[in-house]
Amino acid sequence: MSSALRRVTRSGRRGVYNVVGCKEGGTSKDKCDAEEENPLPKHRSKGKRKVHVEYEQTADEDAEKKPKWEPISWDQHLENIRQMRSSRDAPVDQMGAEKCCDQSAAPQVMRYQVLLSLMLSSQTKDQVTSAAMCKLREHGLTVNKILETDDDTLGTLIYPVGFWKNKVKFIKQTTKILHEKYGGDIPDNVADLVKLPGVGPKMAHLVMDIAWKNVSGIGVDTHVHRISNRLKWVKKETKTPEETRVALEDWMPRELWSEINWLLVGFGQQMCLPVSPQCSECLNKAICPGAKRKGK
C-alpha cells in the first residue's frame, strides 16, 4: 500500500478524505495534505446520494415561520373602544365627511362633495366643516358651479375653516383638474388622488373608502395617530400620521381598516382627548400603556 493511502487510513477516524489523484508512488506529501483538507470528492461516484441538510431554509421560509408582531391586548382594546363608541354620538358620527355630502345627488356629484368635505376638514373641527359644507351646498356644490364662483365668494362660504385662504386656492385648482382631466368626476385610485392640490394620503384613503367603497388603506388623522401611540399599537413611536398608517397596516387585519378611522376619531373626540384624557372612565384604563393612573 502506498504511503498516501496509508496516510488516509491512519487519518480515517477523523473523516473520509479525498485521495483522488494520489497514485501509488507518484504523489507528493504536500499534494496529499492539500487533498486531505478538502473532504468533499471532486466527482461523486455512481450510487452515492447527495445529503440534504434539513435545517437549511430559504429567507422566505424563515420569514413565514417568524411570528408576526402584534400589540399586546390590542383585540381587547378594540372591543372596549367599540363598546364605548356604541352610541355613535361623537361629532364625527353626526358631521363627518359621509354626513356632509348630499346622499340624494348623482354619484359623481356626491363623490366630489366627499372630496371637498375632506379637504375642508383638515385641521378644522367637524362642526366648522359641517357649517361650511351646508353653505356650499346651498350655493351649489358641483364642479361647474364652483368653477363659476370667484375666490372671494368661495372664501366667504368656507370661512372660518382652518387655513381657508389656502383651501380656496386648492379647491379651485383641484376642481379645474377634475373638470379637464376626469370629466367632472374624481380619481378612483390613491396615486392620482394625492396628486390633486391640497389632498394628502389620509384624505385619499378616506375618499376611496367613502366615495368609491374601496378600502385602500387606513385613514390616519391626529386622533388615530395619538391613540395608536398611547395604546402602543405601533412597534415603535411614530412621529407623523403617515408613519402611523404604515405601522398599523403592517399588522392590523385588513377587514378592520375601514372601521378604525371613525372608531378612533370619535373615541379621541369624547374620551381619549389630546389634553387631559378621561382615563378614569375608560374601559381600557387597566390595560392601556398610556393610561394616567392615580398615584403615578
Give the residue numbers annotated as catalytic, written as ranges.
202
DSSP 188: S
* Pure H helices in 185-256: 190-193, 201-210, 222-230, 241-251
**Which DSSP string do the residues of 92-139 spell out, in sequence order?**
HHHHSHHHHS-TTS-HHHHHHHHHHHHHHHTTS-HHHHHHHHHHHHHH
Asked if residues 97 and 130 have their Cβ atoms less than 8 Å apart, the reply is no
- In 3D space, the residue among 2, 59, 57 whose CA is nearest the CA of residue 31 turns out to be 2
For residue 78, how many other CB atoms are within 10 A of its CB? Answer: 20
